């Protein structure tokens, strides 16, 4: 099977998995949000930075090294497997012993016991990390779909049962543990690979040599991607963190479905053509345009229709989260561009440059938080938007040099998509604003505004023959 065919198959199954998981999680989240209080989600939001940090340390960038290593064998996989287990145990012990200090930092005594149970995922995840990596390397996303969707459904049902029984925040803890445990068990069942009792220190040095810089970058990125949870949890009421956490998680639904699906497929695909810069440039351009072509209208319409959407889905008690969600949607639009630019650096083996760029960007983040914090939570959010624009310039400048695709050419290729999205968003807003005093007002605004926006977006794209529209029609539909 050719690389192109495997990529298309991988995209299809990965997208099916993402949509299956996210549809399930949307339904579960809607019911949980109606049962639980914003403060419950705020307590879990306080753990976001620690969970992300722990996962980065466990992986240590070595699974990425396995994917880009063309001749990885049993000794490579077994070595990474046992190292991951050892690091997972150390990370859990560190969190267990630090639980009291963390709860004191946030002034939330209930957080101590939550940490000790919630972080058991650090012991579960390493058991299936290599099995999952092997599937990604082979682009076998069909099997991954078979594993992920049932685990999400069963774990979600378990969480809902706990919430209905009045367990509060522990419903979220139980759901997370159940989903991760089922994932790990099923990856062992479906995967034909089993570790050998061997740790090859030469192979460890090789993979860690590549992964160490990615690990440091990943740790930095994990901390700073979730630093707003930390800052809001420390300096604002826990309910406000609950609003922010919910808005951020809802923003991630389209981003994860569309962007992460392709990111998972593109890294192994980029790795196979890492020595051909022209192919890398063409593949990168097409993928970035295709992702933004589908993500842009979703995020734009979400901004415009946020209020009726929240009122219908989450009820009135979550309306204070609407402006958070609208601002965060701007950040969601930038995520895929960051992801693919950084993938270029990884497949080129420039983990050193990857690390340097992360340090520069996160230094700017600290400065932005210090400046914005005295002006309140909305200043923090808009600072996030500005910093993401700056990060795009930094990432695309360096990755563009490797494949001959500079910042301005990237902007030129994606600007038409944003322009069409803005026009469609304006049409959506006009329709929504004109509808007043009718039965089922929120539903009518959501449906009529969304339909008008979608029609305008695709009509303009068809009439202007934009590149991603033509690519989709000639490549994807013909397949």
Residue 275 has what pLDDT? 58
Distance (Å, whole) CA 77 – CA 80: 5
Distance (Å, whole) CA 327 – CA 335: 14
Cβ-proximal residues to 341 (8 Å cutoff; 6+ apart), any chain: 392, 395, 396, 398, 399, 400
Cβ-proximal residues to 102 (8 Å cutoff; 6+ apart), any chain: 46, 50, 111, 112, 115
User: Which whole number is the average pLDDT over 306-335?
Assistant: 86
Looking at per-residue pLDDT, the higher value among 249 and 71 belongs to 249
Percent of the chain with pLDDT over 90: 10
User: Which whole number is the average pLDDT over 147-156?
Assistant: 84
Is the predicted pLDDT of residue 232 greater than 60, yes or no? Answer: yes
User: Which whole number is the average pLDDT over 320-343?
Assistant: 81
Cβ-proximal residues to 169 (8 Å cutoff; 6+ apart), any chain: 36, 40, 43, 44, 110, 114
Distance (Å, whole) CA 311 – CA 302: 13
Kindly report whether the global pTM for this prediction surpasses the value 0.85: no
pLDDT, averaged across the chain: 79
Confidence of residue 434 (pLDDT cuts 50, 70, 90): confident
Residue 92 has what pLDDT? 92
Distance (Å, whole) CA 152 – CA 159: 10
pLDDT in tens, 73-82: 788 788 878 8
Q: Which helix (H) or strand (E) holds 343?
A: helix 322-347
Residue 294 — left, alpha, or beta (φ > 0 → left; ψ -120 to 50 → alpha)?
Answer: alpha
Cβ-proximal residues to 433 (8 Å cutoff; 6+ apart), any chain: none
Q: Which helix (H) or strand (E) holds 394?
A: helix 377-403
Q: Where along the chain do its domains lie?
A: 1-224, 273-479
Residue 226 is classified by DSSP as: S
Cβ-proximal residues to 165 (8 Å cutoff; 6+ apart), any chain: none
Distance (Å, whole) CA 462 – CA 456: 10
Is the predicted pLDDT of residue 208 greater than 80, yes or no? Answer: no
């Amino acid at each position: 099977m050719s690389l192109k065919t495997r990529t298309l198959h991988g995209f299809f199954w990965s997208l099916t998995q993402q949509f299956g998981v996210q549809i399930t999680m949307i339904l579960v989240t809607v019911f949980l949000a109606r049962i639980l209080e914003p403060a419950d989600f705020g307590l879990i939001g306080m753990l976001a930075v620690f969970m992300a940090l722990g996962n980065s340390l466990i992986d240590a960038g070595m699974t990425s090294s396995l994917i880009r290593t063309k001749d990885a064998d049993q000794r490579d996989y077994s070595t990474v497997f046992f190292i991951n287990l050892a690091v997972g145990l150390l990370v859990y012990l560190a969190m267990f012993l630090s639980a009291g200090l963390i709860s004191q930092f946030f002034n939330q005594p209930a957080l101590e016991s939550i940490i000790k149970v919630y972080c058991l995922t650090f012991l579960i995840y390493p058991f299936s990390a290599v099995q999952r990596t092997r599937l990604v390397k082979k682009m076998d996303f069909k099997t991954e779909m078979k594993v992920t969707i049932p685990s999400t459904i069963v774990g979600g049902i378990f969480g809902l049962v706990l919430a209905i029984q009045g367990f509060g925040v522990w419903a979220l803890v139980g759901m997370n543990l159940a989903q991760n445990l089922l994932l790990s068990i099923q990856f062992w069942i479906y995967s034909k690979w089993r570790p050998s009792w061997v740790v090859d220190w030469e192979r460890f040095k090789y993979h860690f040599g590549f992964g160490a810089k990615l690990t440091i970058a990943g740790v930095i990125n994990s901390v700073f991607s979730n630093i707003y949870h930390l800052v809001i949890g420390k300096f604002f009421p826990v309910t406000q963190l609950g609003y922010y956490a919910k808005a951020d998680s809802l923003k991630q639904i389209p981003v994860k479905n569309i962007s992460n699906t392709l990111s998972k497929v593109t890294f192994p695909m980029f790795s196979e053509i890492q020595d051909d810069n022209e192919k890398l440039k063409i593949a990168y351009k097409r993928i970035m345009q295709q992702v933004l072509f589908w993500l842009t209208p979703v995020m734009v319409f979400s901004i415009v229709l946020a209020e009726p959407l929240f009122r219908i889905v989450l009820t009135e008690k979550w309306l204070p989260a609407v402006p958070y969600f609208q601002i965060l949607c701007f950040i969601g639009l930038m995520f895929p561009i960051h992801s693919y630019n950084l993938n270029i650096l990884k497949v080129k083996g420039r983990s050193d440059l990857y690390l340097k760029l992360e340090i520069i960007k996160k230094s700017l983040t600290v400065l932005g938080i210090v400046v914005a914090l005295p002006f309140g939570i909305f200043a923090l959010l808009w600072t996030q938007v500005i910093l993401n624009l700056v990060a795009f310039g930094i990432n695309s400048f360096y990755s563009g040099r490797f494949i001959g695709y500079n910042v301005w050419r990237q902007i030129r290729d994606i600007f038409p998509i944003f322009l069409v999205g803005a026009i469609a968003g304006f049409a959506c807003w006009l329709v929504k604003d004109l509808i007043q005093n009718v039965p089922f007002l929120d539903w009518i605004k959501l449906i009529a505004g969304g339909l008008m926006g979608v029609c305008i977006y695709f009509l303009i794209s068809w009439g202007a023959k934009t590149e991603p529209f033509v690519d989709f029609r000639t490549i994807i539909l013909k397949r």
